[in-house]
Structure 1
Amino acid sequence: MLAPAGRESADGTTRAQEKGCLGLPGTKVLGMRGGERRRGQTVDTEKMPERSDPDAQPSKPPKRKRPTILDVAAHAGVSHQTVSRFLRGNGGMKPQTVARIEQAVAELDYRPNLVARSMRTRKSNRITVVLPTMTTFVPSQILRGASAEAQAAGYMLDIVGLEGDEQVRGDRVRALLDSGQADGVLTFTPIGDVQKLGLEHTPTVVIGEYDDQMRSHGITADGEPAAKIIDYLASIGHRRFVHVAGSTDWMSARKRREVYLRTIAERGLENYAVIDGDWSVRSGYDAAQSLSADSGVTAVLAANDDVAMGVIRGFQDRGWRVPDDVSVFGWDNHEFTAYFNPSISTVDLDREAMGRQAMKALLARIRQEAEPEIHLDLNSRLVLRESSGPARNGHSVR
């Protein structure tokens, strides 16, 4: 039983002691007996043994000091001005110097203080990434490359999805830049005529979009892999083709259509039809359902893997066998293509490289520097799976 504050309990201790006041250096202890300590005497509690408390939480380790730009400079053996130039992405630095700084940044786990920088530069240090609202389009590989470049330069990414037509999306991009919420915009969806929108001198990069009338720098996945697909299918006997295209709003769709038609003509093959789609599974399904049974088509090039999946299901629902009756080729090498039945032949591209190059171009525009030359080798390769095979005999589907 505890005694009232300042009064002794039966064993001679005070309530102050029971409440653990001895844990504080320099605590005045009242009411001690035995002549060892007098009332009001100051006790050096740091020399006294600590009382064990089974409920006490273990002390937290000291907080690690956040590395600074000076720490990076010392670690790399360069000046802090050189590190600052590196973080701003300025060119003209020796490769050995860049390598040492990169190693120092990695080993120290250095992260720029974005808040302090934004106060000094009056910039948000944020980049907005605009995605289309179509749920099937998630450019994770491109985003991974773009994010790595942005983070190395000290920028954070904000991802938004914009609805509406090109004009509406373009107006929203303009509003984002005018508001100061973003220093630049990386968009995966067409935003219309940049010059008409007044965006020709703004830090805007449109992925997959390029037009001579647009002043923004477009990074596009070259349509040349379509030629590789056609050459492969022709080598195993295919002569009559169909292309289920993506939305013509997208330069990438127009480019693939262009290369498809050119290659068919140059190889002396036959294009039965180009069927307009919108990148969706449904558009592929509808295209397969619309194809005449006596068309003689033995191969279909789909605008992407989602369209290819729809084409295959559309054929299966008609009793057509893939690839025995018709071969189907996708584009993008999404993960699901390896597990679909049948697994889908497709094109694999270095999407991370595209994201890195696009972000480099955007950062140059933000800094008002000359844009770097684009050396983009997508290293496209055909991934051959179950949905493609030798052309069947005859010219009609049974």
Structure 2
Amino acid sequence: MKSDGRPATIYDVARQAGVSHQTVTRLLSGFEGIRPATRARVEEAIASLEYRPNRAARLLRTNRSNRIGALAQEMTKSGPSMVIKGASRRAHEVGYVLDIVMVDGYDDSSILDVLTTFQHDRVAGILATAQTEQMQQIFLSLPITVPMQMGSHVDDPAGRHDIQAKTGQLAAQHLAGLGHRRALVISGGRDWMSAQERLEGFQAEGLRSGIEVLVEYGDWTPESGYRIGRGLDLDAGITAIFAENDHMALGAIRALHERGCEAPRDISIMGVDDILESRYLTPPLTTVAIDFEAEGRFAIDLLVSRVDGAERPGPERVPAPRLIERESTRAI
């Protein structure tokens, strides 16, 4: 970093080391035929100035693409939009440009058209934030010749860093701690990987904690939460609802209110995402917050490590989900 706060360039390094910029370039390119004394001066200047090589310029010199194709869906929703925001910022930081294309994650032809276009345009890698079963099956079946990444998912046999499963687990722990023993999960859908993983996490923890788990399937929208709330059997002994996002929880709260069933007096309700509106509902919504921007950044780091053949970053870099307890849940 220069004294005026601007990032150092290769010319600044050369000037401080007393060498030509071509010498600095050769050292950065891995050229071994540089005298030890000269190498030491250049390396000292690089460290002193905190110089960082420009990845975009390096890609240009090697005729490699600096574009990453991103398949996105449900961008009007808080979670997906924040994932893309984090991914786009991180891509820029490491010298790539994120080309974002909206797709219907349930439509094979939509996914295939975009993937074909990306390959034709010679992107460096492909990131899928629309994580449906259809998307996964197409990714596995197509002979795609560039590195691919499905969201921030990391294969971890011990399950230590499965953010979505941990989200469901955290919700079940909270409700179990309040004494609930019969709970309804409003899932985001059968085809969404994140919805399945949240449900599996809740069910696993529910089994450990003695919660009987019932499931209804929505589609992430307030309307689906409202529909399920209107049809809920109020005499079934259900004392808590875990909606897999805040929007469905909002719809369920409204529907139950219309039926004279109030949260948390008659039933505890919680969601996921910590959307801005959740703290202003009546009652303020208990929720599980996920750092979606961090997920997007980590997804890019995973993909770029594959593009560059570098060591894969550790999943512990993504913050764990955290419970935000408000007034929509209570002990029984």
Q: TM-score, normalised by structure 1?
A: 0.66
Structure ID, larger Rg: 1
CA distance in 2, matches of 1:313, 1:151: 41
Note if 1:231 corresponds to 2:173.
yes
State the one-letter code of the partner of 2:166. E
Residue in 2 that maps onto 1:62: none
In structure 1, distance between residues paired with 2:267 and 2:27:
60
What is the total number of aligned residue pairs between the two structures? 302
Equivalent in the alignment of 1:73:
13
1:322 aligns with 2:263: yes
1:72–1:82 CA distance, 2 compared to 1 (3 A): farther
Asked if residue 342 in structure 1 is aligned to residue 265 in structure 2, the reply is no
Q: CA deviation at 1:82?
A: 6.4
The structural deviation recorded for 1:258 is 1.2
Asked if the contact 2:123–2:146 (Cα under 8 Å) also holds between the matched residues in 1, the reply is no
Q: Per-residue displacement from partner, 1:322-354 (whole Å, max 9, x unpaired)?
A: 111111111111222112222211111233332
Query: Where do 1:103-252 residues align within 5 Å?
Result: 103-104=50-51, 112=54, 114=56, 119-133=60-74, 135-163=76-104, 165-180=106-121, 182-190=123-131, 191-193=135-137, 194-199=139-144, 201-207=145-151, 221-252=163-194
The 3 A distance-change label for structure 1 pair 76 and 204 is farther
Distance 1:327 1:208, change over 3 A: farther
CA deviation profile, 1:45-66 (whole Å, cap 9, x unmatched): xxxxxxxxxxxxxxxxxxxxx9
Change (3 A) 1:282 1:379: same
8 Å Cα contact 2:186-2:241 kept in structure 1: yes
In structure 2, the partner of 1:256 is: 198
5+ long unaligned stretches in structure 1: 1-65, 86-95, 213-218, 392-398
1:149–1:164 Cα change, 3 Å:
closer
* Aligned-pair CA distance for 1:142: 2.6
Q: Is the 8 A contact 1:351 1:378 kept in 2?
A: no
Structure 2 CA distance for partners of 1:323 and 1:119, relative to 1, 3 Å: same
Match of 2:20 in 1: none
Runs of 5+ in structure 2 lacking a partner? 1-5, 18-22, 31-42
Does the 8 Å CA contact 2:73/2:80 hold for their aligned counterparts?
A: no
Contact 1:146 1:358 in 2 (8 A): yes
- Residue 293 of structure 1: aligned partner: 234
Q: Do residues 371 (structure 1) and 315 (structure 2) align?
A: no
For 2:112, the aligned partner's letter is D
Q: Deviations over 1:170-208 (max 9, x none)?
A: 313421332225322211113132231223x52211116
1:73 to partner: Cα distance: 3.4
Letter in 2 for 1:249: D
Cα distance in 2 for residues equivalent to 1:333 and 1:84: 46
Which structure has the highest helix share of the two? 2
Partner of 1:355: 296
Cα drift, residue 103 of structure 1: 4.7
- On the 8 A contact 1:287/1:311 being kept in 2, the answer is yes
8 A Cα contact 2:8 2:51, kept in partner: no
Q: Distance in 2 between matches of 1:252 and 1:352?
A: 16
| Alpha-carbon shift at residue 134 of structure 1 (Å) | 6.0
Please tell me the residue identity of whatever aligns with 1:292. D
Q: 1:84 to 1:363 in 2, by over 3 A?
A: farther
Query: How far apart are the structure 1 equivalents of 2:28 and 2:293?
Result: 26
Amino acid at match of 1:357: F
Preserved CA contact (<8 Å) 2:79 2:273? no
Q: Residue 330 of structure 1: SS of its match in structure 2?
A: strand
What RMSD over aligned residues (CA atoms) do the two structures have, in Å?
A: 3.4
Identity %: 31
Q: Distance in 2 between matches of 1:321 and 1:341?
A: 10
Match of 1:307 in 2: 248
Bigger relative CO (Cα 8 Å, ≥ 6 apart): 2
Measure the CA separation in 2 of the matches of 1:113 and 1:226: 39
Partner of 2:37: none
Aligned 8 A contact 2:83 2:296 in 1: yes
1:164 Cα offset (Å): 5.9
Q: Deviations over 1:54-110 (max 9, x none)?
A: xxxxxxxxxxxx97741463599794566678xxxxxxxxxx99x9589556xxxx9
